[in-house]
Homo-oligomer: A and B are copies of this chain.
Amino acid sequence: MKTKPNPIDRSSFEPAYLQLVRVLREQIAAGQFRPGDRLPSESQLCRRYQVSPMTVRRAINLLLEQGVVTTERGRGTFVKPLELGGVSFSLDRFQDLLTDRDGARIQLLDVRIVEADERVAAELDLPVGDRVIHMQRLFHKNGEPLIYHAHHLIYDPKRPVVEAEMEVTSLYGLLSGSGTSLVKWGRLGVHAAVLDASQARLLRRSEGAPAFYLEHTFYDYEDRPVSWGGFTCPGDCFHFTATVGVVEGCEPSRAAPGRI
Protein backbone atom coordinates (compact mmCIF):
# COMPACT_ATOMS: atom_id res chain seq x y z
CA MET A 1 0.00 0.00 0.00
CA LYS A 2 2.73 2.47 1.07
CA THR A 3 4.55 2.67 -2.22
CA LYS A 4 1.54 2.63 -4.57
CA PRO A 5 1.09 5.89 -6.47
CA ASN A 6 -1.82 7.99 -5.31
CA PRO A 7 -4.76 7.33 -7.69
CA ILE A 8 -6.28 10.71 -6.78
CA ASP A 9 -5.16 13.23 -9.37
CA ARG A 10 -5.46 16.74 -7.93
CA SER A 11 -4.93 18.32 -11.34
CA SER A 12 -7.85 16.38 -12.83
CA PHE A 13 -11.05 18.06 -13.90
CA GLU A 14 -12.93 15.44 -11.83
CA PRO A 15 -13.43 16.58 -8.21
CA ALA A 16 -11.26 14.68 -5.71
CA TYR A 17 -14.25 13.28 -3.79
CA LEU A 18 -15.69 11.76 -6.97
CA GLN A 19 -12.31 10.20 -7.76
CA LEU A 20 -12.22 8.77 -4.24
CA VAL A 21 -15.73 7.34 -4.67
CA ARG A 22 -14.58 5.67 -7.88
CA VAL A 23 -11.45 4.25 -6.23
CA LEU A 24 -13.39 2.84 -3.27
CA ARG A 25 -16.09 1.38 -5.53
CA GLU A 26 -13.44 -0.30 -7.66
CA GLN A 27 -11.89 -1.82 -4.54
CA ILE A 28 -15.30 -3.08 -3.39
CA ALA A 29 -16.10 -4.42 -6.85
CA ALA A 30 -12.72 -6.20 -6.89
CA GLY A 31 -13.48 -7.86 -3.56
CA GLN A 32 -10.74 -5.98 -1.73
CA PHE A 33 -13.50 -4.96 0.67
CA ARG A 34 -16.40 -7.38 0.97
CA PRO A 35 -19.87 -7.12 2.48
CA GLY A 36 -19.49 -6.55 6.22
CA ASP A 37 -15.88 -5.36 5.92
CA ARG A 38 -14.93 -2.08 7.55
CA LEU A 39 -13.49 0.61 5.27
CA PRO A 40 -10.33 2.42 6.45
CA SER A 41 -11.09 5.24 8.88
CA GLU A 42 -11.49 8.85 7.78
CA SER A 43 -7.96 9.75 8.90
CA GLN A 44 -6.51 6.65 7.23
CA LEU A 45 -8.22 7.60 3.97
CA CYS A 46 -6.95 11.19 4.30
CA ARG A 47 -3.38 9.99 4.70
CA ARG A 48 -3.57 7.27 2.09
CA TYR A 49 -5.01 9.49 -0.65
CA GLN A 50 -3.63 12.86 0.49
CA VAL A 51 -7.06 14.46 0.63
CA SER A 52 -8.86 16.63 3.19
CA PRO A 53 -11.30 15.24 5.79
CA MET A 54 -14.03 17.17 3.91
CA THR A 55 -13.22 15.29 0.69
CA VAL A 56 -13.37 11.95 2.52
CA ARG A 57 -16.68 12.89 4.13
CA ARG A 58 -18.23 13.91 0.81
CA ALA A 59 -17.08 10.64 -0.74
CA ILE A 60 -18.46 8.54 2.11
CA ASN A 61 -21.75 10.46 2.00
CA LEU A 62 -22.11 9.70 -1.70
CA LEU A 63 -21.36 6.00 -1.09
CA LEU A 64 -24.02 6.05 1.63
CA GLU A 65 -26.51 7.60 -0.78
CA GLN A 66 -25.60 5.03 -3.42
CA GLY A 67 -26.33 2.28 -0.90
CA VAL A 68 -22.81 0.89 -1.17
CA VAL A 69 -21.82 1.38 2.48
CA THR A 70 -23.45 1.88 5.82
CA THR A 71 -22.07 3.73 8.84
CA GLU A 72 -22.35 2.70 12.44
CA ARG A 73 -21.82 5.51 14.91
CA GLY A 74 -18.50 5.08 16.64
CA ARG A 75 -17.71 1.87 14.79
CA GLY A 76 -16.95 3.07 11.27
CA THR A 77 -18.10 2.58 7.71
CA PHE A 78 -18.95 -0.89 6.43
CA VAL A 79 -19.56 -2.40 3.00
CA LYS A 80 -23.25 -3.16 2.74
CA PRO A 81 -24.42 -6.65 1.91
CA LEU A 82 -26.65 -7.02 -1.15
CA GLU A 83 -30.17 -6.06 -0.26
CA LEU A 84 -33.01 -6.79 -2.59
CA GLY A 85 -35.09 -4.19 -0.77
CA GLY A 86 -33.05 -1.40 -2.30
CA VAL A 87 -33.70 -2.60 -5.83
CA SER A 88 -36.14 -0.77 -8.04
CA PHE A 89 -37.68 -1.73 -11.33
CA SER A 90 -38.54 0.89 -13.90
CA LEU A 91 -41.37 1.15 -16.42
CA ASP A 92 -39.03 2.59 -19.07
CA ARG A 93 -39.29 -0.46 -21.25
CA PHE A 94 -43.05 -0.60 -20.86
CA GLN A 95 -43.30 2.94 -22.11
CA ASP A 96 -40.83 2.19 -24.91
CA LEU A 97 -43.00 -0.73 -25.89
CA LEU A 98 -45.99 1.54 -26.30
CA THR A 99 -44.35 4.68 -27.64
CA ASP A 100 -42.30 3.12 -30.36
CA ARG A 101 -44.31 4.45 -33.26
CA ASP A 102 -43.26 1.83 -35.77
CA GLY A 103 -46.20 -0.43 -36.29
CA ALA A 104 -47.92 0.71 -33.08
CA ARG A 105 -51.64 1.27 -33.28
CA ILE A 106 -54.53 1.84 -30.85
CA GLN A 107 -57.80 0.10 -31.57
CA LEU A 108 -60.84 1.48 -29.74
CA LEU A 109 -62.90 -1.58 -28.87
CA ASP A 110 -65.78 -0.01 -27.02
CA VAL A 111 -66.91 3.17 -25.25
CA ARG A 112 -70.15 3.18 -23.34
CA ILE A 113 -71.96 4.81 -20.45
CA VAL A 114 -72.48 2.38 -17.57
CA GLU A 115 -73.64 2.60 -13.98
CA ALA A 116 -70.84 2.52 -11.44
CA ASP A 117 -70.82 -0.74 -9.50
CA GLU A 118 -69.48 -0.83 -5.95
CA ARG A 119 -65.85 -1.21 -6.92
CA VAL A 120 -65.93 1.49 -9.60
CA ALA A 121 -67.86 3.83 -7.30
CA ALA A 122 -65.27 3.34 -4.56
CA GLU A 123 -62.32 3.86 -6.90
CA LEU A 124 -63.79 7.00 -8.50
CA ASP A 125 -65.26 8.31 -5.24
CA LEU A 126 -68.81 8.41 -6.63
CA PRO A 127 -72.18 7.08 -5.42
CA VAL A 128 -72.98 3.54 -6.63
CA GLY A 129 -75.16 3.76 -9.73
CA ASP A 130 -73.73 7.06 -10.97
CA ARG A 131 -73.08 7.15 -14.66
CA VAL A 132 -69.47 6.61 -15.74
CA ILE A 133 -67.73 5.97 -19.05
CA HIS A 134 -66.26 2.55 -19.68
CA MET A 135 -63.61 2.46 -22.38
CA GLN A 136 -61.74 -0.51 -23.78
CA ARG A 137 -58.78 -0.39 -26.14
CA LEU A 138 -56.33 -2.77 -27.67
CA PHE A 139 -52.71 -1.88 -28.46
CA HIS A 140 -51.23 -3.50 -31.52
CA LYS A 141 -47.63 -3.64 -32.54
CA ASN A 142 -46.50 -4.86 -35.92
CA GLY A 143 -49.96 -6.22 -36.52
CA GLU A 144 -50.00 -8.27 -33.29
CA PRO A 145 -52.27 -7.45 -30.36
CA LEU A 146 -49.99 -6.66 -27.42
CA ILE A 147 -51.81 -5.00 -24.53
CA TYR A 148 -55.44 -4.69 -23.47
CA HIS A 149 -56.50 -1.50 -21.75
CA ALA A 150 -59.80 -0.95 -19.93
CA HIS A 151 -60.75 1.92 -17.69
CA HIS A 152 -63.64 3.80 -16.16
CA LEU A 153 -63.80 7.58 -16.39
CA ILE A 154 -65.94 10.13 -14.61
CA TYR A 155 -68.83 11.47 -16.71
CA ASP A 156 -69.05 15.16 -15.92
CA PRO A 157 -69.65 17.96 -18.44
CA LYS A 158 -67.59 20.25 -16.22
CA ARG A 159 -64.63 17.88 -16.38
CA PRO A 160 -64.25 16.96 -20.04
CA VAL A 161 -62.04 13.94 -19.45
CA VAL A 162 -63.70 11.77 -22.03
CA GLU A 163 -63.37 14.38 -24.72
CA ALA A 164 -59.67 14.61 -23.98
CA GLU A 165 -59.43 10.81 -23.93
CA MET A 166 -61.16 10.45 -27.27
CA GLU A 167 -58.55 12.75 -28.81
CA VAL A 168 -55.83 10.35 -27.74
CA THR A 169 -54.79 8.68 -30.94
CA SER A 170 -51.19 7.89 -30.04
CA LEU A 171 -50.01 5.51 -27.41
CA TYR A 172 -47.64 8.18 -26.26
CA GLY A 173 -50.52 10.55 -25.58
CA LEU A 174 -52.25 8.01 -23.45
CA LEU A 175 -49.19 7.34 -21.34
CA SER A 176 -48.51 11.01 -20.85
CA GLY A 177 -51.43 11.48 -18.50
CA SER A 178 -54.13 10.65 -21.00
CA GLY A 179 -53.16 13.56 -23.24
CA THR A 180 -54.94 15.94 -20.91
CA SER A 181 -53.77 18.64 -18.58
CA LEU A 182 -56.64 17.72 -16.25
CA VAL A 183 -54.51 15.05 -14.63
CA LYS A 184 -52.22 16.11 -11.82
CA TRP A 185 -50.97 12.81 -10.50
CA GLY A 186 -51.53 9.08 -10.56
CA ARG A 187 -51.29 5.99 -8.42
CA LEU A 188 -49.87 2.90 -10.09
CA GLY A 189 -49.79 -0.72 -9.12
CA VAL A 190 -48.36 -3.84 -10.75
CA HIS A 191 -50.29 -7.01 -10.00
CA ALA A 192 -49.80 -10.61 -11.03
CA ALA A 193 -52.75 -11.68 -13.19
CA VAL A 194 -53.92 -14.23 -15.72
CA LEU A 195 -55.82 -13.62 -18.96
CA ASP A 196 -59.56 -14.22 -18.78
CA ALA A 197 -61.40 -15.73 -21.73
CA SER A 198 -62.21 -12.44 -23.44
CA GLN A 199 -58.74 -10.96 -22.93
CA ALA A 200 -57.19 -14.18 -24.23
CA ARG A 201 -59.34 -13.98 -27.36
CA LEU A 202 -58.44 -10.33 -27.97
CA LEU A 203 -54.74 -10.87 -27.31
CA ARG A 204 -54.65 -14.17 -29.25
CA ARG A 205 -53.23 -16.08 -26.33
CA SER A 206 -54.46 -18.86 -24.05
CA GLU A 207 -56.97 -18.28 -21.30
CA GLY A 208 -55.13 -18.42 -17.98
CA ALA A 209 -51.81 -17.27 -19.48
CA PRO A 210 -49.71 -15.22 -17.03
CA ALA A 211 -49.90 -11.43 -17.32
CA PHE A 212 -49.03 -8.21 -15.53
CA TYR A 213 -51.94 -5.95 -14.63
CA LEU A 214 -50.71 -2.37 -14.49
CA GLU A 215 -53.45 -0.62 -12.56
CA HIS A 216 -53.73 3.17 -12.63
CA THR A 217 -55.86 5.80 -10.93
CA PHE A 218 -55.43 9.37 -12.14
CA TYR A 219 -56.37 12.42 -10.09
CA ASP A 220 -57.21 16.00 -11.10
CA TYR A 221 -55.94 19.23 -9.57
CA GLU A 222 -58.54 18.99 -6.82
CA ASP A 223 -57.13 15.53 -6.01
CA ARG A 224 -60.38 13.88 -7.14
CA PRO A 225 -60.08 10.65 -9.13
CA VAL A 226 -60.92 11.08 -12.83
CA SER A 227 -60.15 7.61 -14.13
CA TRP A 228 -59.41 4.11 -12.89
CA GLY A 229 -58.41 1.07 -14.87
CA GLY A 230 -55.42 -0.79 -16.14
CA PHE A 231 -53.26 -2.33 -18.80
CA THR A 232 -53.25 -6.10 -19.13
CA CYS A 233 -49.90 -7.10 -20.52
CA PRO A 234 -49.18 -10.77 -21.30
CA GLY A 235 -46.10 -12.03 -19.50
CA ASP A 236 -44.49 -13.07 -22.77
CA CYS A 237 -44.17 -9.47 -23.98
CA PHE A 238 -42.67 -7.77 -20.96
CA HIS A 239 -40.73 -8.23 -17.75
CA PHE A 240 -38.83 -6.03 -15.35
CA THR A 241 -35.08 -6.31 -14.81
CA ALA A 242 -32.57 -4.71 -12.44
CA THR A 243 -29.17 -5.33 -10.93
CA VAL A 244 -28.10 -5.28 -7.30
CA GLY A 245 -24.62 -4.85 -5.89
CA VAL A 246 -21.54 -3.00 -7.05
CA VAL A 247 -20.74 -3.60 -10.68
CA GLU A 248 -17.88 -1.66 -12.26
CA GLY A 249 -19.13 1.22 -14.37
CA CYS A 250 -22.65 0.72 -13.13
CA GLU A 251 -24.65 2.38 -10.37
CA PRO A 252 -25.91 -0.03 -7.72
CA SER A 253 -29.59 -0.79 -7.36
CA ARG A 254 -30.56 1.10 -10.46
CA ALA A 255 -33.22 -0.28 -12.71
CA ALA A 256 -31.91 -1.77 -15.92
CA PRO A 257 -33.94 -1.83 -19.10
CA GLY A 258 -36.20 -4.83 -19.46
CA ARG A 259 -35.96 -7.23 -22.32
CA ILE A 260 -38.97 -8.06 -24.43
Give the contact-size bracket for chain A: 35 or more
**A185 near B31 (CB under 8 angstroms)?**
no
CA distance A221 to B27 in the complex (A): 11
Residue of B nearest to A30 (CB): B221
**Chain B contacts for A48, CB-based, 8 A:** none
Which single member of B88, B175, B211, B246 contacts A83 (CB below 8 Å)?
A: B175
Interface-facing stretch out of A4-12, A56-64, A90-98, A150-158? A90-98
Q: Check A242 against B175 for contact (C-beta < 8 Å).
A: no
Of B86, B95, B212, which contacts A84 at CB under 8 A? B95
A29 at the interface (CB under 8 A from B): yes
CB-CB under 8 A for A188 and B242, given A90-B88, A177-B35: yes
Residues of chain B within 8 A (CB-CB) of A194 are 194, 208-210
Please tell me if the beta carbons of B35 and A243 are within 8 angstroms of each other in the complex. no
A104 CB → nearest B CB, Å: 15
Whether B243 contacts A185 by the Cβ 8 Å rule is yes
Inter-chain CA distance A221–B183, complex, in Å, is 47
* 26 contacting pairs across A/B (C-beta < 8 A): A30-B221, A34-B221, A82-B175, A82-B176, A82-B177, A82-B185, A82-B186, A84-B94, A85-B92, A85-B175, A86-B91, A87-B90, A88-B88, A88-B89, A88-B255, A89-B188, A177-B245, A184-B246, A185-B247, A187-B242, A189-B241, A190-B241, A191-B239, A192-B192, A210-B210, A210-B211
